[in-house]
Amino acid sequence: MAPLKLNSQNLPRLLAAGGVKAKLPTYPRNGVIKEGIVHIGVGGFHRAHLAVYIDQLMQNHGVMDYAICGVGLQPFDATMRDCLRLQDHLYTVIERSAKGTSAHVVGSISSFLFAPDDREAVIAKMAHPDTHIVSLTITESGYYYNENTHELQTENHNIQFDLNNENTPRTTFGFLYAALVRRYQQGLKPFTVLSCDNMQKNGSITRHMLESFARLRNPKIAKWIAEHGAFPNAMVDRITPQTSAIDRTTLANNFNIEDAWPVVTEPFMQWVLEDQFSDGRPPFEQVSVQVVKDVHDVEQFEKYKLRLLNAGHSAIGYAGHLAGFQYVHQVMENPVFRTFIWQMMQEEIKPLLPQIPGVSIDNYCNTLMERFSNPTIMDQLPRICLNASGKVPQFIMPSIAEAIWVTGPFRRLCFVTAAWFHYLNGIDDSGRTFEIDDPMREELQAKARAGGTNPAELLSIKSLFGDDLRGDGRFVQEVTIAMEDIARDGIMKTLPKYIN
Ligand code: CS2
């Protein structure tokens, strides 16, 4: 059988065709469903995570009130809109591990709004009484959060624009605010704002940023949001590489599905979610989401995830890229790197983490080593290295600060910091140049070049590093030594100095 284009019309044909090995949605996608969720930022991660949980609720539990309306705020979201539109918003999740590959067509996204074309439609959709949740994967930089002051970046030109243009917003907070004003005027409850981004205290930060924004517009609305709004904290986890052209071809060849933009991911997925919703929620427990009452439980899981998984990725990413590797699993195949990652987690990070009842840190670390080593998902190092200014300060720096506080070891974490600083020069160990993809690229590169092997210039960026670390002699010295070694000898000669 020739591959069939993925769309609603072809679904029955795919279902009827004996040769199709993918799981397909059999629930109705018209009429009975309601769009209870508006999601901002429809990328790979959303399509491999929240949208999959919702699809399972629709397919296996008949929950039809929480289909998803996707929203794109950025010009680049037009491609996602076009691909999804062509396919009636159906797409395929390809799960890969050493055990094999499976494919699953997801039907939980039922429409898509592209904000630059019609901002009003997005505001109206969020304000609609059927919308109970607005969920977000907008990356760290989408929060306009100053890591140093813990406040909204009110001086930012996009935030300034939104503060002065209520009906034509650009930022997430501008849209949330405009829609909440309408709900307030209509006597509706505020929707829950559900952050699915990789940040410690993601819900609390979202609340603080939105309330700060609202206070600058209208204190009455800010008070209403503060009293009635809900912003659950959540730990989200699923490694989701960027889709490649080969993924599309193998899906067509092996599963007979022609999908313009499938998602590739690992079998593992986890979501620990604080039970704090202002206007109802789907029965997430039924699809293995760990819904918890106590925010401290979420915080502890978040800490494990960010300090071990994401920090592990950062260690693999910058140093691995400088050393000439392309994919995460290739770095893990190198015995020195593998030992470095394990020892960094075990000796430097683990002692700083809380005990979570029923969870073994060692099992957690072992599972991570396995997940990082998955050769089949082809997780690209440039993806890991993307937007480092939003990542390293929350994945690596807090562990260093805590290790200094408790006088624990932190040399390897300093090596990771040094590798990132060296990476900012945009030249790898064999002299090849590469681009840095980071919202703070210009400032970071200028400071990296001005500083050479002295980290003081970069560490002077207060919004990333605060005041404490750059004043700590041992930290600055460790980072300097690593930067000098990396600059002189390269990563592969320096790394052995950091393993026992
Ligand atoms: C990665 C994450 O971008 C990164 O730095 O560590 O995207 C990671 O793959 C996810 O957080 C896994 O849940």
Q: 386 near 241, Cβ under 8 Å?
A: no
What's the whole-number average pLDDT of the chain?
96
Q: In whole angstroms, give the CA distance from residue 244 to residue 262.
A: 9
Residue 18 pLDDT: 64
Ligand 1 within 6 A of 237 CB? yes
**Could you tell me which residues come within 8 angstroms of residue 288 by beta carbon, excluding any fewer than 6 positions away?**
none
Residue 439 pLDDT: 92
Whether pLDDT at 468 is above 90: no
Residues 355-382: tens digit of each pLDDT: 999 999 999 999 999 999 999 999 999 9
Pocket residue to mutate for ligand 1, from 195, 313, 368, most atoms within 8 A of Cβ: 313
Ligand 1: nearest atom to the Cα of 240: 9
Mean pLDDT of 24-46: 96
- Ligand 1 centroid vs 188 CA: distance in angstroms? 36
Ligand 1: nearest atom to the Cα of 309: 6
Ligand 1 within 6 A of 429 CB? no
- Ligand 1 centroid vs 309 CA: distance in angstroms? 8
Ligand 1 within 6 A of 313 CB? yes
Per-residue CA distances from 42 to 48, 91, 139, 234, 434 (Å): 10, 12, 11, 18, 27
Residue of the CA atom closest to atom 9 of ligand 1 = 239
Question: Tokens at residue 493, please?
Answer: 């000669």
Ligand 1 within 6 A of 384 CB? yes
Quote the pTM value: 0.96
Residue 33 pLDDT: 96
- Model confidence at 19, in pLDDT bands (50, 70, 90)? low
Q: How many CB atoms lie within 10 A of CB 355?
A: 9
Q: How many CB atoms lie within 10 A of CB 58?
A: 25
Ligand 1 within 6 A of 183 CB? no
Nearest to 482 by CA among 433, 438, 418: 418
**Could you tell me which residues come within 8 angstroms of residue 266 by beta carbon, excluding any fewer than 6 positions away?**
95, 96, 97, 238, 239, 371, 374, 377
Q: In whole angstroms, give the CA distance from residue 392 to residue 390.
A: 6
Largest CA distance in the chain: 68
Residue 21 pLDDT: 86
Residues 41-57: tens digit of each pLDDT: 999 999 999 999 999 99
Question: Tokens at residue 453, please?
Answer: 């092997």
Whether pLDDT at 2 is above 90: no
Whether pLDDT at 20 is above 80: no
- The dihedrals phi and psi of 39, each to the nearest 5 degrees, come to -115, 125
Residue of the CA atom closest to atom 6 of ligand 1 = 310
Ligand 1 within 6 A of 207 CB? no
Whether pLDDT at 262 is above 90: yes
Ligand 1 within 6 A of 422 CB? no
Ligand 1 within 6 A of 391 CB? yes
Query: Percent of the chain scored above 90 by pLDDT?
Result: 94
Residues 92-139: tens digit of each pLDDT: 999 999 999 999 999 999 999 999 999 999 999 999 999 999 999 999
Residue of the CA atom closest to atom 13 of ligand 1 = 237
